[in-house]
Amino acid sequence: MTAFEFAEGYSAYLLLVVLFAIGLYGMMMKQNLIKKIMGMSIVQSSVILFFIVSAYKDDATVSVIDYARGVTNPDLYLNPLPHTLMLTAIVVAVVTLGVSFALVIMIYKRFKTLHEPTLRELMK
Amino acid sequence: MSDSNLPLLIPFTFLLAALFVPLAGSVRRWASQPLAVAAALFSLGCSVAGMARVFASGTFRHYLAGWQPPIGIEFVFDPLAAFFLVMITGVGCLVLIYSGPIAVEEILGKRIGFYSLAMLLLAGLTGMVVTGDLFNLYVFLEISALASYALIAVGDQRAPYSAFRYLALGTVGASLYLMGLAFLFMSTGTLNMAEMAAILPYVNQQPQVVVGIVLILLGAGLKMALFPMHAWLPDAYTNASSPATALIAPIGTKVAVYLMIRVLIISGFPAIITIISWVAAVGIIAGSILAIGQSNLKRMLAYSSVANIGYIVLGVSLANPLAFIGAVLHILNHALMKAVLFMSAGGIFSKLGTLDIFKLRGLPKKMPFTTAAFLIAVFSMVGIPPTGGFFSKIYLIFGAIEASAWVFVAAILISTVLNFFYFFRVIEFSFFKPYAKTEDPAQEQKSETLKMDEMSMSMLLSTLILAAAIVAVGVYNGEIVDNFIAGAVPGF
């Protein structure tokens, strides 16, 4: 398999890994806490999409038996498990976002800034 | 293989209590703590009953809603889970008893929230231990993590920022775990631990399986604050309120270690454990050295936690029975020691008003019983015989010798010396340092005739019970290893 074929075949996964890296970059390098939260959200979304992409099949449908399509060939149906798992993961991501915003509000009320170097200066 | 509700009952009790604690608290303010303690006691009873059953008739499971795996989620009560459950619920119960008076003192308006979140934390931790499904484990991991972010955010001025950093790194850890799980799921098509353990030997040469396991171990490492990934831990423990630290420090990070143990057992101890051993050995030394540099007592204890996580991870990753026993015994010991140390630190802060270890002079006179408990925990940390810490270190050292890993033996021994150094500094300053010379003789007179001013009864009692448990674990370590840990050792 040449590098080009690899990139073509796994393009979605490669994109998601790049997305994961972008999120990590945002969390590490950005100095504003809200931007850090955005990075965190990107990381979580990339993982969620990773599961979804892993369940993708060409020309397949939802896992409800459809006699018109035929019931003997499993290639015609998607694996529904990753999607359902990711519903739970989305809930977790939303709750994490909620908690992080609550923390950011508390930080802003106390220090009147969300700029990390300034915060560190203020907390010495 | 019999069916039983016991494994489910333990996290479920905590979840239910997390709902009822605020309800009870809104009717009668004082009612939240007794209810939380009652829930913890009930779960402790369930854990002990389950443990008795595991050692009488072997592992038992509960299938959620009657769905058998691989379709359904199962809750497994095996020897290793039993050991962790009794430890978590036992320590959690005593910390909750301890937290009554000090919660009134430090977080008066937020008590109800504290107990509700504490229940949620314990639900997550116990759930992680009993579940037999890797995705279910992720959900429980996040429940416990979210509860601990909120618990840590209540504290001094800086606490929300420390909690934010913990949240950011903890979320990355969980995302890495989930990403790794995606790789494993894609190669094996199952999320059930037992089934994955059966399938993985056939596919463990595939690159995606190796990547998946590495990602999961990275995520677990972030959650447990293994050395280069420990940045969130010292701030979080230092700035949180005393009851929150006393609850999270002993048991929070240990369950991430449990996750690592499970994944390593499932994947049959892959070659990466060599790297993990080295990282852990560096962590042991680095954590100890960083602890020496601290002047805040809680911060010093936090860095010592980093070093002790190193011991545990080293023991697990050496992959031989002796080291594994040492690691599991050290998990128990460290939970007890850290609970006692953080609980007495909370008491010291409330009575002396400072945690600066250079200003602790007069501590033994003012709080003799707290100091006694603190001393026992310090002896165990350093590894002085009748206490438990000595025996777990001995097992770890024998395990390292069996693996012919002399560097790790040296790391453990050097770290013992460093432990001695930073803990006995506290003792030196509190016992032997001359009182500060002042011009005013009346002031000097006052410091010579300090009155006894101990922590309140419930705080003192729970601290002393845990301190006694440290000695008991040391004295009966043979029985504990033979009866409770030996059954949990996997085949290497």
pLDDT of residue A18: 93
Please check whether residue B379 lies inside any domain of the structure: yes
Please check whether residue B326 lies inside any domain of the structure: yes
pLDDT surpassing 90 at residue B122: yes
Query: Rounded to a whole number, what is the distance in Å from the CA of B404 to chain A's nearest CA?
Result: 39
* Pick from B139, B163, B168: CB nearest A92: B139
**ipTM > 0.90 for the complex:** yes
pLDDT band of residue B449 (cuts 50, 70, 90) is low
What integer is the mean pLDDT of B240-259?
Answer: 89
pLDDT of residue B444: 54
CB contact under 8 A, B142 and A92: yes
pTM of the model: 0.91
pLDDT of residue B446: 57
pLDDT band of residue B1 (cuts 50, 70, 90) is very low
pLDDT of residue B158: 87
Residue B86, token pair as written in the block: 């009794």
Residue B7 three-state SS: helix
pLDDT of residue B448: 58
What integer is the mean pLDDT of B314-339?
Answer: 90
* Pick from B138, B146, B160: CB nearest A96: B146
- Burial annotation A53-85 (CB, 10 A radius, 16+ → b, else e): bbbeeeebeeeeeeeeeeeeeeebbbbebbeeb
pLDDT surpassing 90 at residue A97: yes
Average pLDDT value for chain B: 86
pLDDT of residue A67: 81
CB contact under 8 A, B172 and A123: no
Please check whether residue B463 lies inside any domain of the structure: yes
Query: Rounded to a whole number, what is the distance in Å from the CA of A68 to chain B's nearest CA?
Result: 27
Please check whether residue B489 lies inside any domain of the structure: yes
Domain with B363 in it: 271-434+444-492
CB contact under 8 A, B139 and A123: no
What integer is the mean pLDDT of B421-436?
Answer: 77
pLDDT of residue B128: 92
What integer is the mean pLDDT of A53-68?
Answer: 82
Residue B150: list chain A partners with CB under 8 A. 99
Domain A3-123 -> CATH class: mainly alpha
Residue B161: list chain A partners with CB under 8 A. 107, 119, 123
Q: Which of residues 139-158 of B touch A (CB under 8 A)?
A: 139, 142, 146, 149-150, 153, 157-158
What own/partner pairs with CB < 8 Å and gap ≥ 24 does A31-34 have?
A31/A115, A31/A116, A31/A117, A32/A114, A32/A115, A32/A116, A33/A104, A33/A107, A33/A114, A33/A116, A33/A119, A33/B164, A34/A104, A34/A114
Please check whether residue B204 lies inside any domain of the structure: no
B492 Cβ under 8 Å from any chain A Cβ: no
Picking from A20, A47, A87, A88 by the largest number of B CB atoms within 10 A of its own CB, the best residue to mutate is A47
Please, are residues B293 and B422 in contact by the beta-carbon 8 Å criterion?
A: no
B163 Cβ under 8 Å from any chain A Cβ: yes
pLDDT in tens, B100-110: 877 777 777 78
* Pick from A54, A95, A106: CB nearest B182: A54
Query: H-helix or E-strand containing B75?
Result: strand B74-77
pLDDT surpassing 90 at residue B190: no
pLDDT surpassing 90 at residue A81: no
Closest CA to B244 of B339, B356, B137: B339
pLDDT of residue B217: 92
Domain count, chain B: 1
Closest CA to B234 of B174, B285, B165, B175: B165
pLDDT surpassing 60 at residue B445: no
Residue A99: list chain B partners with CB under 8 A. 146, 149-150, 167
